[in-house]
């Protein structure tokens, strides 16, 4: 039996912390516009979706998508800079991973610029009554060992 170890490292968010702040309808619209649902009977069914609360809708959307929630969020970013990660124990992350200084985009040189970049992405899918400050405070440096 073999095991592997890795680090989940970077500036980002834990999916579990932002989950309840996400708006399922905004996420659904993005997924439909970008064809991110599974085809056929495992795909999106509006009749099932309409009778669910927001959290149930998020779980349903993730279950009938081509990928997990962090990958769906990652698909919405313009610069393709974020990575999805998990620690092997069920915790999932959306991260801006460390880079060499010469590999940083010109507009993302500081921690605050990176946090603002992530905030701008997440606010596209956040419930209307959630403030940017609430989400910004969840974005932090993450250094989490993972193993399986």
Stronger pLDDT, 109 or 121, i.e. the higher one = 121
Of 110 and 132, the structure prediction assigns the larger pLDDT to 132
**Residue 133 in tokens:** 């400050």
Q: Do 16 and 91 contact (CB within 8 A), yes or no?
A: yes
Return d(Cα 79, Cα 65) in angstroms, integer: 22
The beta-strand segments (E) located in the chain are: 5-14, 83-86, 92-96, 140-147
Per-residue confidence band for 22, with pLDDT thresholds at 50, 70 and 90: very high
Tokens coding 90: 């069920």
Residue 94 CB neighbour total at 10 angstroms: 25
Number of domains in the chain: 1
CB 49 within 8 A of CB 4: no
In the three-class reduction of DSSP (H, G, I as helix; E, B as strand; rest coil), residue 48 is classed as helix
The pLDDT score that the predictor gives to residue 80 is 82
> What order of strands is seen across the sheet that includes strand 140-147?
83-86, 92-96, 5-14, 140-147
Q: Is the pLDDT confidence value at 120 over 90?
A: yes
pTM of the model: 0.86
Compute the average pLDDT of residues 18-40. 91
| 13, 138 contact by CB (below 8 A) | yes
Is 12 a residue whose pLDDT tops 70? Answer: yes
Q: Roughly what angle, to the nearest 10 degrees, separates helices 54-63 and 24-33?
A: 30
Task: Band the pLDDT of 4: cuts 50, 70, 90.
Answer: low
Render pLDDT for 64-107 as a digit per residue (tens, 0 to 9).
Answer: 887 888 889 989 987 888 888 888 888 899 999 877 777 777 77
Does pLDDT of 24 surpass 60? yes
* Per-residue pLDDT at 2: 47
Domain that holds residue 140: 5-147
User: Does 17 have pLDDT greater than 70?
Assistant: yes
């Amino acid at each position: 039996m073999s095991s592997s170890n890795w680090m989940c490292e970077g500036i980002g968010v834990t999916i579990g912390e932002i989950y309840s702040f996400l708006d399922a309808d905004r996420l659904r619209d993005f997924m439909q516009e970008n064809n991110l649902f599974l085809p056929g009977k495992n795909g999106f069914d509006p009749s099932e979706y309409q009778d669910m609360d927001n959290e149930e809708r998020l779980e349903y959307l993730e279950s009938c998508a081509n990928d997990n929630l962090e990958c769906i969020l990652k698909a919405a970013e313009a610069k393709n800079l974020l990575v999805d990660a998990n620690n092997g124990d069920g915790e999932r992350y959306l991260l801006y991973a460390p880079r060499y200084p010469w590999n940083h985009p010109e507009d993302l040189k500081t921690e605050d610029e990176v946090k603002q970049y992530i905030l701008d992405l997440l606010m596209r899918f956040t419930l209307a009554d959630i403030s940017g400050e609430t989400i910004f405070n969840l974005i932090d440096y993450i250094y989490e060992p993972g193993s399986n």
